[in-house]
Structure 1
Amino acid sequence: MNDKTKKIIIFDDDEDILSICSYILEEQGWEVFTYTDCNDITEKVAGIVPDVILMDNWIPDAGGIIATQTLKKDEALKAIPVVYFSANSDIQLLADHAGAETYLAKPFDLDELEKVINSVITHN
């Protein structure tokens, strides 16, 4: 069943990043869902059950660390890989603290975005 559309959720409050990432990923056949906040995150994610989540560090209201930790505590959702992204120089520490599978430093180029996403989905 390789014809199933891959789904990705991007949590970021930067509309430019959302539109660029959405455009690139849709071109590659992803179904992209975007949110500018992480409120009710378990409901949002459970309603979509994506293959990958991109999580911004500064997402309102709770922030990316708490949002990611919330997902990782949920039995049904914890297996979904989270790519943590941030312009913070401590991004590796933040991603580890959040429990994310991997991270992507901002600003990133689109090749990096693709590489990181492909690296987490091939492990499933």
Structure 2
Amino acid sequence: MKRIVIFDDDVDILEILTYLLTEKGWEVHTRTTCNNILEIISEKRPDVILMDNWIPDTGGIKATQLLKADPKLTNIPVIYFSANNDVEILSQKAGADAYIAKPFDLDELEKIVNQFALS
């Protein structure tokens, strides 16, 4: 089973994505903060990570940089997602593997998540 960890402080988005991805056969784990991110990702070993930009307490950029700096976790794809107009630039600054802008099309999100899960 494919596993994903989603970091977003918007509980509604977490609920929608959990429902959608669970229906598509994913094991979904969600967090509303980035506290202890290295421990969480080391424990869950997801196939993909969805990372919001405005996430307490570390923030999406710093959290993604921490993951990409860890040799054991750097190969896990991080898809950055944000309602910020500069999501592409923020994604690059963070070192994410891809990005998607909010509001997003659910089919588009599913496509990009599956693309990175298969790589």
| TM-score for the superposition, normalised by structure 1 | 0.94
Measured in 1, the distance between the counterparts of 2:76 and 2:40 equals 13
Q: CA RMSD in A?
A: 0.6
- CA drift at 1:75: 0.6
Measured in 2, the distance between the counterparts of 1:68 and 1:119 equals 19
- CA drift at 1:122: 2.4
Amino acid at match of 1:111: D
1:94-109 alignment, distance < 5 Å: 94-109=90-105
* Aligned residue number for residue 110 of structure 1: 106
Measured in 1, the distance between the counterparts of 2:2 and 2:60 equals 23
Q: Where in structure 1 are there 5+ consecutive unaligned residues? A: none
Q: Where in structure 2 are there 5+ consecutive unaligned residues? A: none
* Aligned residue number for residue 64 of structure 2: 68
* Aligned residue number for residue 18 of structure 2: 22
State the aligned residue count: 119
* Aligned residue number for residue 42 of structure 2: 46
2:51 aligned residue (31, 50, 55): 55
* Aligned residue number for residue 85 of structure 1: 81
Query: Which segments of structure 1 move beyond 2 Å, counting only runs of 4 or more?
Result: none
- CA drift at 1:77: 0.4
- CA drift at 1:92: 0.5
Give the match's secondary structure for 1:113.
Answer: helix
- CA drift at 1:69: 0.2
- CA drift at 1:85: 0.2
Q: In the alignment, does 2:116 pair up with 1:120? A: yes
Amino acid at match of 1:38: C
| TM-score for the superposition, normalised by structure 2 | 0.98
Amino acid at match of 1:33: H
- CA drift at 1:109: 1.4
Give the match's secondary structure for 2:22.
Answer: helix
